[in-house]
Structure formats: structure tokens, C-alpha cells
A and B are shown apart, each in its own frame.
Chain A
Amino acid sequence: MDTLNPGKRTDVLPVQDREHFDQLVLPHLRAAFNLARWLLRSREDAEDVTQEALLRAFRFFSGFHGSDARAWLLQIVRNTCYTWMEKSRPMNSAVEFDESLHLSPLPGPEAQALAGSERERLAKGLEQLSPRSREVIVLRELEGCSYKEIASITAMPIGTVMSTLARARERLQQLLGSSGTKEAVHDL
């Protein structure tokens, strides 16, 4: 009896799918990174998670037969983010939110001068929303997804997408109206 026998290999990856993957999925890398960055509220974590999600997507790619590669990829990114948040929850909740860690500078000084303070204000508001509210706002406003696409990415019915988006916007309006408050705000 061979007691130290490793399991059968199933991780040989489809070389022939690579070109197809590069054409269909890789163009959505920025959307993937953007969603991860806002869900995780950190560029560094978003890099790790996006990388993990892309490798996962590549592994599952043979099972993708749909027409919307962006929604498919974002669904994987979202799941990877939630798994990641689940795992690192005790660590994260102990750390007080520090916006200087999370807000990345804009590319150029002019752009920064132009949009800097407004961007900071909006980003801060956005980061105070719950992840569920944040993701629908990011998908709708930053990625321009339709309700249908958001529904397929988040596995929510369209009606729920609509009501979540409505609540998220109203909450964001409140937060921005009273920006500068230091109290911890829990959405929903």
C-alpha cells in the first residue's frame, strides 16, 4: 500500500485557450482591479486579489461559454474579494480606518489640483458604504454596467440591484452632505 501517494494531477492548464483568454478577458483587467480596489479599500490588497482572481478565471476559462466576459470576470473578482475579506476580517476590523493608506494619488499635479479634494471627499464617502452598497455604485457609476450586468455579477435579482443602488446613493448623499463627521458609519 502506498500511503504517501499524491492525488491525481488535474491542474494541467489549457495552453490552446491562452490566446482566447488574452483577447476576451485581459481587456477587462482594469475593471477587475478597480472593483477589487474599491471592495477591499486598498491598492496593495487589490493587486494580490486581482492576480489570484485572474489565475482562477484562467483555470475556469474552459467552462466559460457566455458572451459577456467582463461580467464573468467581475463575478470571479467579486467572489475572490469576499473570500479574502472573510479570511482577513479579524485583522482588518482591529485596524482603524486611515484614509491616507487607502487613497492613492492621482497621476498628474494638474489633475490632482483640479479634482483632488473633490475626489478625496467622494472616495471617503464611498469607502464608508457597506461593501454591498459600494459594489453596486462602483459597477454602475465607474464601470457603467447595466442593471442586468450588475445582477449577474452580484447574483442578485434585478429588483434587489435597483433597491440596493437607490439606498446606496441616498446613503452617499447623506455622507457627503455631512462630510467631516468622524463617527464610524455603518450602512444598511
Chain B
Amino acid sequence: MTCDDSRPFFHAYLDGELDAMQAAEFGRHMESCSACGRAVQALESLRSSMQNAQLREPLPVGFERKIRSELDAASQPASSWKLTPWRLLAAAALLLLAIGGSWKFAQRTRDNGDVSVTAADAAAVELVDAHIRALQPGHLTDVTSTDQHTVKPWFDGRTAFAPPVRDFAAQDFPLVGGRLDVFQGHTVAALVYGRRKHFISVFIWPDATQNAEQYAGAMNGYQWISWKQSGLRFCAVADTSRDDLAALKDLISR
């Protein structure tokens, strides 16, 4: 074995990855060649200084506990979500509106009497309702953070899709946090943005249908706007102006 032959074996030798034959051959060469011996020695000293330097990073205090509680939350089936009683109220509200006021929505949004517009409106009622419900103290966010890197991982494991989470504080739509909500019996992600003294809920869920239509409407002083983007349906709801919602929509879809 020559020095050139032995060179590729330095590391495997050092790491104990040579088989018996290779090791024996390499060992014989080491005995006769001081240059290769020194090279291996230098690598050995690099390795031992790395091991002595305690480079292996210790876990942050409380980190394992945090992970365990995240896993606890992820282990819970979503059907046990705490807003269940509110769902009943929302359903009741929807029923009332369907009986008493469906003509109003169809008339307001479009004149063509398209059934889907009415359905979109009906769905929006539920989302507006969810938004109003969330404005009750303590219901706005499950994870409160202006940091998108905190909010985004929070959704991981709670939803089967990854909602795009970005902070738009620079554009005057600061991220406030996120929560889970239930809409038509399914878990949806809700992002909360601030707008001056108001809050905007942006509901997000996967939409496998071909429908990429944009919808907008208003009810009881609340505006809503719904659009589709990369397989997800978005619906932003707030008591701010329609222009504010459109501006936020532009930021999100940028």
C-alpha cells in the first residue's frame, strides 16, 4: 500500500469503519510511513479536542416539558375542541338567517340569483359569527405572538395543512396570534391581525373544489371577503372597512 492508496482510509480507520483486512493492510503501512502516521495523529487530535470541548448542545431549560405538552395537544382529537357549545349558537343563528333573511344576502352581493352566492353568504354568516365569538375576552387567540415563527409551528400538528403565517406590522397589519376554530364541523386555522383598534380574523382551510371565485359581503356591520389561493380558501372578517380587508388580502396573496 502506498501513501496515495492509504489516504482514503485515514478517516475510515479513525472512525473504526475499516474491515479487518483493510485495517491490517493500513496498519502495516502506518508502521512504515511516518508522514501518514502524523496525518492520522493530527486527525485524532482534532477529534479528541472536539470531544473534550463539550460541543454537544444542552437542551434549553423546560424544553422537553414544552415538547411533551405540544404532543399532548396534538394527541387530542379535534372533536373535543372547547368551542362546541358555541357551535350550537352559530347553527341556530345560521338557521334563523336562512329562514328570515336569505333574500337579503342574495340581493346584496349579486343580482344573478346564483345559488352558490347564497351558499357563500350563509357560510360567511357562520364565519362572521365565529369572529364575533372570538372577540369575547380570552377567545381571540390560542397562541398569542407577533412572531410568525411562533405562530406557524403552533399550527403544525393541529391542522392537516400549513396556513401561510406572516406578520405585516410594517404595513400596519400586525400579526396578533392564531387560533383554531370550527367551521361546518371542520377545524380551520384562524390568524388574527390588528388594524388600528380593530381585529381581523383570517380563516383558512383546504379547498379541493374547482371554485376559485372571490366573494365579499357585509352583515351586521361586519365586512367579509373570501378568496382562494394555492389550494386554500381564505375568509377575512372584521368590522373595519372593505378596503382594509382588500389590502390585507393583497398582502397575504403577494
Contacts and interface: CB of A to CB of B under 8 A. Distances in A.
B76 to A, nearest CB: 8
B129 to A, nearest CB: 13
Interface residues of A, number: 62
B33 interface: no
Contact of A58 (B63, B74, B207): B74
Interface of A is mostly: helix
A24 interface: no
Contacts of A38: 57
Contacts of B220: none
A12 B76 CA distance: 8
Contacts of A122: 49-50, 53, 55
Given A6-B205, A122-B55, A55 B70 contact: yes
A173 B23 CA distance: 24
A48 B67 CA distance: 10
Interface of A: 1-15, 18, 21-22, 26, 29-30, 33-34, 37-38, 43, 45-48, 50-52, 54-56, 58-59, 104, 106-107, 111, 115, 118-119, 122-123, 126, 137, 140-143, 146-147, 162, 165-166, 169, 172-173, 176
18 contacts: A1-B119, A3-B209, A4-B233, A11-B160, A13-B77, A50-B63, A58-B71, A58-B157, A107-B58, A118-B53, A122-B49, A142-B50, A146-B15, A162-B17, A166-B11, A169-B11, A169-B43, A173-B43
Interface of B: 8, 10-12, 15, 17, 42-43, 46-47, 49-60, 63-64, 66-68, 70-71, 74-78, 115-116, 119-120, 123-124, 127, 149-150, 153, 156-161, 183-184, 186-188, 205-209, 211, 213, 215, 226, 233, 235
